[in-house]
Amino acid sequence: MPEKLTFEDQIARNKRQTVVVAAFMLVLLFGVVFAVGYILGTPPYFTLILALIVSSIYIGITWASATSTVLLASQARPVNPSVREEKLLAYRVEEMALSAGLPIPRVYIQDSRDINAFATGLTPDKAIICVTRGALEQLDQEELEGVIAHEMSHIANYDVRLATVTVGVVGAIAMIAEIGLRMLWFGGGRRGGGRDRGGAHPLLIVVAIAGLILAPILSRLTYLFLSRRREYLADATGAKLTRNPEGLAQALEKIKGDLPDDPKGSRTVAGLYIANPWKRVEAASVFATHPPIDERIRRLREM
């Protein structure tokens, strides 16, 4: 359904959706915790403490390793200012930082023939923008500016942090559900363990078990939904930074026509790239990290 939205509308709408999705993730996490507690008949504070420990460990690990693993996996190197193309790239990044009112990120180059770029760093003052050599060679300055504005928007919108925490929560949900199901399997349940306090309804037990099986899948899909929303948001914020949506639209056209034959990096962070490095022309799918490229172009051209 075609709808006409300015970038301000799109930004506001995406922010509302993020709040709803993040709330849903928390509901899922707590739902899983209480399902486990219900099935096992453990006291609520015990299950809650278990859940908090598991979640903090997961989020802690993803948090601590976020920037370093991404950079390491991408095999990126800092820009060399004595090469004109790379100097101009650093200039465009500096300009976008001014437009966003943010500190200037460090600029890296990834040695890949594909056209792509990503941003990382949990706070704006530690941010990094990385662009592939293919992007430098094939995009003109206006398109490059659009791509950098998109990445700068990920930084301005704290998307790296959001993705890191969400990946952590998805992991925690999977872990807690797994623990619950295993303990049930090995006879830790309230009926099997003989600790029946008589409060459990058999039907509710079945619902709780089904919930434990479905929650990890549902949380993963929620994460992907969020990732796609944040891509639209970064496109819209990027258009606000350059006041020139056509630059990014043209860059996306080129990306669409460029077959990804040289992907480098970590698959788990595919959502941080401007387009998925492993799969390019994506249909509208609940399993995709990015929205369909044609729809992104259409929305940009409408702004």
Partner 1 sequence: MAVSWVAIAIIVILILFVLYVISARNRIIRYDNEIDNSWSQIDVQLKRRADLIPNLVETVKGYAAHEKGVLEGVTKARAALMGASTPAEANAADNMLTQALGKLFAVAEAYPDLKANTNFLQLQDELTHTENKVSFSRQHYNDIVLRYNNAVTTFPGTLFASSLGKSRKAMLEIPPADREVPNVRF
Residue 100 engages partner 1 in binding (rule: CB under 8 A)? yes
Q: Which amino acid is at 122?
A: L
Binding mask 8-27 for partner 1 (x = CB under 8 A): --------------------
302 is catalytic: no
Q: Which residue has the tokens 């950079």?
A: 71
Residue 85 engages partner 1 in binding (rule: CB under 8 A)? no
Q: Whose Cβ is closer to partner 1: residue 96's or residue 224's?
A: 96
- CB of 127 vs partner 1, minimal distance in Å: 17
| Segments of 96-207 assigned E as strands | 106-110, 117-120, 128-132
Residue 254 engages partner 1 in binding (rule: CB under 8 A)? no
CB under 8 A: which stretch of 83-91, 160-168, 213-221, 293-301 binds partner 1?
Answer: 83-91
Residue selected from 133, 244, 279, 293 as contacting partner 1 according to rule CB under 8 A: 244
5 is written with which tokens? 């939205």
CB 119 within 8 A of CB 163: no
- CB of 143 vs partner 1, minimal distance in Å: 10
* Site size toward partner 1, by CB under 8 A: 18
Residue 258 engages partner 1 in binding (rule: CB under 8 A)? no
Residue selected from 34, 57, 94, 193 as contacting partner 1 according to rule CB under 8 A: 94
CB under 8 A: which stretch of 91-99, 121-129, 168-176, 286-294 binds partner 1?
Answer: 91-99
Site for partner 1 in 112-171 (CB under 8 A): 140-142
Length of the chain: 303
Q: What single DSSP character describes residue 187?
A: T
Q: How many CB atoms lie within 10 A of CB 184?
A: 21
* Active-site residue, selected from the candidate residues 86, 143, 145, 151: 151
Strand 128-132 to strand 76-78: parallel, antiparallel, or no bridges (unpaired)? unpaired
Q: What are the beta bridge partners of residue 131? A: 109, 117
CB 286 within 8 A of CB 228: no
- CB of 142 vs partner 1, minimal distance in Å: 5
Distance CA 158, CA 153 (A): 8
Q: Whose Cβ is closer to partner 1: residue 6's or residue 75's?
A: 6
- Find the Cα–Cα–Cα–Cα dihedral 15, 17, 20, 21, rounded to 10°: -110
Residue 205 engages partner 1 in binding (rule: CB under 8 A)? no
Of the CA atoms within 13 Å of residue 82, those in its CB half-sphere come to 0
Please give the backbone phi and psi of residue 133, each rounded to the nearest 5 degrees, phi first: -60, -35
Residue selected from 20, 53, 98, 213 as contacting partner 1 according to rule CB under 8 A: 98
Q: What is the CA radius of gyration of the chain?
A: 22
Q: Whose Cβ is closer to partner 1: residue 4's or residue 84's?
A: 84
Residue 279 engages partner 1 in binding (rule: CB under 8 A)? no
Residue 239 engages partner 1 in binding (rule: CB under 8 A)? no
Distance CA 231, CA 96 (A): 18
CB under 8 A: which stretch of 37-45, 99-107, 162-170, 221-229 binds partner 1?
Answer: 99-107
Q: What single DSSP character describes residue 276?
A: -
Q: What residue ranges bind partner 1 (CB under 8 A)?
A: 84, 87-88, 91-92, 94-96, 98-101, 140-142, 241, 243-244
Q: Which residues are catalytic?
A: 151
